[in-house]
Structure 1
């Protein structure tokens, strides 16, 4: 039975089957109840728990006519692998080949799998052109590999063709990169030849800044008009003559008492001052 699973199943599933074959050494048939073609078998499995061996019973129902088994652990129904209890029942009845119903084709390594890159809900946000191109290339490669994988010579030729294609693509990428670098250097040279002198560089244009304009401040026009009027008055007004001090006035008064000529001169000076101020 183990050899049969080894030839049919993939490596990962066969390892799970081997675990059940190892556990079969701890199982033994304790009771059998036959009712025609139906057989009820009680299988005890020894389990080690805290240095104590426990015998756990399992009921296995068998049908001799179809060689079908059903264990209450339901391992085959849940994972598709026969449990150690069913294997022990087959061994007790000297069945050395498992019925085909227990060799599931989905675990077989001989099946040709046709599925390719099934789009899931996670790929909705990745619907750009590069992702679409990638999925198309993967589908093409998968179909080609699936067609020529059965023959060793064809597989070797396919490997050689893929390596040659990869080398051509690498050379094409290097050529494009060198051409782009040469074009970039040419553009830089043409720009340097057309550069202007430093003396021709002008200052940047003045840009109005954000904020309240000074010319539109409240009262600025009134202040400017007052200043302008003051300046005009200062320009048009005659030079200011400082008045005589008190000593000068007393001296003039005394001199006026001494002579009429001097008094007339002082009065004429006062009248001239009054005319200018008027």
Structure 2
């Protein structure tokens, strides 16, 4: 719970906030999953070894789980086979792994049970059962018996990058913007399948016929999709060839569209217009006073007299105010 809601909830969260944050958490989780799927489709992480088995995991697994697989391939260098007990097709291999604990090397042994006929194995460390990743001990046994390709049962669908996530078609409250036509078609097909299954579920023969019909329909759809993909690839190659042969003229290039800038908006303070009017009136007064006042007039002000000044009526109040400050 803490790992899922970390950063969204706290001890004083109300029920209304919980419902709101729950939708936010689902949206963030789904967005991260879509980003991871896009990253998996763009490229691969380089292999750490030259093992063809690692190459297989690189093509099948997602990026995040393949990093864990690479860790096990690196740890395989610290493993060695110490004993082998064969009983027909079943083999019990004892694998020792060197571990560094407090600057001391410890050798820990694990029993790996391997079946020659089916190429299935199981290690007592139970790493595959807990996380879905083959441990370094199993990889060492595969290397011992020259198994270069693992079975499909060791490539779980939950870690495969080629699996379409079914829950992405389920409508939720946080993905209204992604409710495109595919979601509508999916819900219609589900309703149709539900009605058909509900009608023919009583009789076993009718259920078997329905299964056969669905398998035939699926095979036809797979063939149709493969044909469309091949036609799309050939059409894309033809378009690329035709575009490379045609030169693009300067007149075909259009200018960018004009957009509103994101600069600082104009001030909307209540006192902005009043301050502007004060500045304008002060500027007008200074223009009216500048040709009338001489520099020696201010020297006389310091001595308390206004000699040689032709003071207009508008400036008389200002000069009297200056003289009152001087007297004080």
**TM tier, shorter chain?**
0.3 to 0.5
Normalised by the length of structure 2, the TM-score is 0.39
Bigger radius of gyration:
1
Normalised by the length of structure 1, the TM-score is 0.46
